Amino acid sequence: PLVLGIETSCDETGIGIVRGTRLLANEVASSMDEHVRFGGVIPEIAARAHLEAFTPTLRTALETAGVELREIDAIAVTAGPGLAGALMVGLSAAKGLALAADKPLYGVNHLVAHVAVALVDHDAASSPLAPNTAALLVSGGHTEILRVGSLARDVELLGSTIDDAAGEAFDKTARLLGLGYPGGPAIDAAARMGDPKAFRFPRGLTMPKFEGTVQSPGKHRHNWSFSGLKTAVARAAEQFEAQGLAVPTADLAASFQEAVVDVLTAKAVRACQEHGLTSMLLGGGVAANSRLRELLAQRCADAGVELTVPPIPLCTDNGAMVAALGAQLVSAGAQASSLEIPADSSLPVERIVI
Ligand code: ATP
Ligand code: MG
Ligand code: FE
């Protein structure tokens, strides 16, 4: 199916067009520059920016794909989770388009879309998803390990962060190291020049009292915690400052990144093994991280888990991921959404479409 996807859950106005799992267009306008001086996304500014960027972004996407609105089979739009005001801009626009062009509308889950995009332009994507598939979702606001029976109708949460998301940890740590915003790409770059073994930072929730054993799993066996990590990085940096020494930013960044990636990959692969899952999809903004892609590929290969990762430009928020999930829903014969659906800023990952 030919599907138009609309994404406005945070600060990216994304319009993507796919035919099945083939990417035809992906236009993204970001209001990030307007939020930089505040150190985080300001909802009101993001919503206004979506309103201004929507039509030009849509036009460019249709032109790039070489399709007209009347040729589209369905319109998919992020219904949640995200910033309520930002979501409402995309949702309202999508409803208007669906009504005017008489197309089915799918109000979809942003998190599942982050996972669905791993199949875009992937060689094996034309074959159906393996029945025992896991998904590691690592984004700015979420860090979850999922069992995916079907991207259209069966997603189960197996474990998650109990405090900060992985992307949030990257952003906060980059900020305290003076590396700027957003922090993920900055830490990824700084870490290339540092030693990941220079500091041994904590691996949250890996102690036996949290993890238990296979036979008697602890409450947090498949969960993560990242909030202690930024504090550990801050303490380490302070010790250099207190002695009047230069802060070894690259070593701190590399060691921090190694701690995050080590515990993410170790727990994700173990969850696969213990739930009998033999393939894994990766998704979310942190999926762009070079060390995560490297170590996850290595550990999945060692464990006999077949890994599929999204193209790097499709990891952070965009419309193609929403279109990709829409295409899965259309192919599976899922029921379209009503034109009265609300935005749901805290939509749980198990609700794929509303
Ligand atoms: P959510 O999807 O949970 O609603 P979000 O949409 O704000 O959150 P994404 O766009 O999926 O988040 O991802 C943004 C996050 O990805 C930011 O925290 C950013 O720092 C992080 N990120 C982007 N590139 C990299 C990278 N190369 N390494 C690590 N983190 C990265
Ligand atoms: Mg963003
Ligand atoms: Fe996102």
* Residue 137 marked in a binding site: yes
* Residue 140 marked in a binding site: yes
Q: Which atom of ligand 1 is nearest to the CA of 316?
A: 10
144 alpha carbon to ligand 2 midpoint, in Å?
Answer: 18
Pocket test for ligand 1, best of 50, 170, 258 (most atoms within 8 A of CB): 170
Q: Give the three-class secondary structure for 130.
A: coil
The residue nearest atom 3 of ligand 1, judged by CA position, is 141
Distance CA 156, CA 109 (A): 13
Distance CA 167, CA 334 (A): 32
Distance CA 184, CA 172 (A): 9
| pLDDT value for 135 | 98
The residue nearest atom 29 of ligand 1, judged by CA position, is 184
Indicate the length of the chain as a whole number: 354
The order of strands in the sheet holding 2-7 is: 22-30, 12-19, 2-7, 74-80, 105-109
The residue nearest atom 27 of ligand 1, judged by CA position, is 289
| pLDDT value for 124 | 64
pLDDT in tens, 205-232: 999 999 999 999 999 999 999 999 999 9
Pocket test for ligand 1, best of 316, 318, 322, 325 (most atoms within 8 A of CB): 316
* Residue 121 marked in a binding site: no
| pLDDT value for 341 | 98
Contacts of residue 86, defined as CB under 8 A and 6 or more positions apart, other chains included, come to 8, 9, 10, 11, 43, 46, 47, 50
The residue nearest atom 30 of ligand 1, judged by CA position, is 184
pLDDT in tens, 46-104: 999 999 999 999 999 999 999 999 999 999 999 999 999 999 999 999 999 999 999 99
Within 10 Å of residue 37's Cβ, how many Cβ atoms?
8
Pocket test for ligand 1, best of 31, 117, 139, 177 (most atoms within 8 A of CB): 139
Distance CA 59, CA 93 (A): 13
Pocket test for ligand 1, best of 50, 168, 317 (most atoms within 8 A of CB): 317
| pLDDT value for 286 | 98
| pLDDT value for 182 | 83
Nearest to 135 by CA among 120, 153, 157: 157
Contacts of residue 55, defined as CB under 8 A and 6 or more positions apart, other chains included, come to none
* ipTM reported for the complex, 2 dp: 0.99
212 alpha carbon to ligand 1 midpoint, in Å?
Answer: 31
Low-confidence residues of the chain, pLDDT below 70? 124-128
Nearest to 54 by CA among 21, 17, 14, 26: 14
pTM across the whole model: 0.97
210 alpha carbon to ligand 3 midpoint, in Å?
Answer: 29
Strand locations in the chain (E): 2-7, 12-19, 22-30, 74-80, 105-109, 133-138, 143-150, 154-160, 279-283, 306-308
| pLDDT value for 202 | 96
Task: Say which ligand is closest to the CA of 183.
Answer: 1
* Residue 184 marked in a binding site: yes
The residue nearest atom 9 of ligand 1, judged by CA position, is 285
Q: Which residues line ligand 1 (CB under 6 A)?
A: 9-10, 81-82, 110, 114, 139-142, 167, 170-171, 182-185, 188, 284-286, 288-289, 316-317
101 alpha carbon to ligand 1 midpoint, in Å?
Answer: 33
